[in-house]
Structure 1
Amino acid sequence: MSELPYSSIPPLPKEISSTHVIARMIDGLGFRYYWATDGLTEKEIDFRPEKDSRNMLELLGHIYHLAFAANNVLGGHMKKKTDLSTYEEFRAETLYLYKDLSDRLKVMPDEELENYNYMGASQSFPFWYLLNGQIADALTHVGQVVSWRRISGNPQPKGVNVFLGKKS
């Protein structure tokens, strides 16, 4: 398998546009997810903060589904993987989905965003709802991963700088 994306954030875009701003949000999310999930052990994978909550693996599965939805709504053609069962599989596939989405956004004209809608259970929503829906939700859950791994005794690796998008 090739090296996973997002050990660092890609270079800044050369111009500001709607699609570049969204791509940068996705890049930041991918970077945070990469380091939040780097080096998890079986102890963290099985961790559940309370008996009625998801465990870490279930949480990673949920983040994968959010990544798939965001990618799919904005023109992605990757097939949803239904056979994922390990931490490594969820981690890799989620990172590839975010990379695919970011790459596509970086070459997408702003006007094209108007063509994308999220099909909810009973109605269609403009792409804007992805920002406060699947993308913001994924950021929240990545924060949970960071917190849960700290609680279970294996904090995120030292030197991760989310502002600069690199690890020292």
Structure 2
Amino acid sequence: MDIYAQTGVTPLPVIQTARLELRPMVMADADAVAAQLNTLDVSRWLTVVPYPYTRDDAVWFINEIAAGRAKAWAIYKADTLIGTVGGGTSHGYWLGQAYWGHGYATEAALAACAYHFDATEDAAITSEYFLGNTASQNVLRKIGFLPTDLRTTRCKATGEDVQAQGVILTRDRWKALHNA
């Protein structure tokens, strides 16, 4: 069943990188998404992801994408879903814990930002990371995001208020850094 045909939303295109494939999210991804996010070490770094994370949570997320209320790709390494990356003006990503430390987040995030700036006229992409999440901080820094504001936000997984660093990547900075 094609969830995009049912909603009339055009899915994001498939993007091939050196080691990864970014694919439109489909319902067949629900079990893998649930398995990867049902780890507190992953979900504690994300704002809106609950813990425990269930298949129903994954189905809800995929339905949000199919309805056009969110934009995200499934990140695949070979035939294994290893995470997701956002495709809109608010950039987010996560990887399953087994895939940390290999540069996959940077590779996927670079591809998502390149697509966004090529496909839209948007002037900027925003994101944030929780203080203490140096891996995410480094991914965003490598891509070219710059700090904006420090804010307090709620982590749904832990139920705690956390400090988050807002960041922004402008189209002009993207072009200057990536010869786009």
The alignment's TM-score, normalised by the length of structure 1, stands at: 0.31
**Structure number with higher helix proportion:** 1
* Structure with the larger strand share: 2
